[in-house]
Structure 1
């Protein structure tokens, strides 16, 4: 088991839970950004559930690595979509946050794969 994978999976999971919570409670700081990138209000809870599922998968993946790999792939795709959504509407203020999480999730995926 890779200590780096465990630490980064836990940290990324925490970030996903915080982000998902903000979407679930429709945080006033988050909702204008969601609207700006074209996410309908009805889809915001779905995105929150996807983030919670990714966090749970990463944490369970500490003990059962194939699930961790699958969850990390899902999280990478999620944040790739987020980066594309921000760039599509030229939201250059929102792109770096999604980009950092895309990089972090890619690192977690890489560590999950090499520590199988």
Structure 2
């Protein structure tokens, strides 16, 4: 049950964030500039987030997809943490990326434990 709830929560959260980046929401454009990224690159990150979110949710039916998506998102969030640190952002702005990355790792662990059952 935990895997189901966490996969849906993470999937929806990443899908929303990805769509916001792809749509060019003002705050996303400002974030791209803040990190020194071109908006084209930031849109690519948004596409990866959207696809990763869909993949994590789909992983409830297709475990290999869910594992790959969660691993990819965890790596993406590691990069996000690095970007926040390089931008000298406070912990409060860096923490969401770290927490989301840890949630993706939790999904990987829960998938692995479900394979043992």
Regarding TM over 0.5, the answer is: yes
Runs of 4 or more above 3 Å deviation: none
1:85 aligns with 2:83: yes
Deviations for 1:36-55, whole angstroms, at most 9, x for unmatched residues? 11221111221111011111
Query: Which of these residues, 33, 36, 39, is aligned with residue 35 of structure 1?
Result: 33
Deviation for aligned residue 1:10:
0.5
Deviation for aligned residue 1:86:
0.6
Give the aligned length. 114
Q: 1:1-116 residue pairs with structure 2 within 5 A?
A: 3-92=1-90, 93-116=92-115
Q: Secondary structure at the match of 1:90?
A: coil
Unaligned runs of 5+ in 1: none
What TM-score, normalized to structure 1? Answer: 0.90
C-alpha RMSD over aligned residues: 1.3
Structure-1 separation of matches of 2:28 and 2:50: 17
Deviations for 1:3-55, whole angstroms, at most 9, x for unmatched residues? 11111011001100110111011111222122111221111221111011111
Structure-2 separation of matches of 1:54 and 1:89: 25
What TM-score, normalized to structure 2? Answer: 0.89
Greater helix fraction, Structure 1 or Structure 2: 2
Unaligned runs of 5+ in 2: none
CA contact (8 A) 2:21 2:43 kept: yes
The one of the two structures with greater contact order (alpha-carbon pairs below 8 A, sep at least 6) is 1
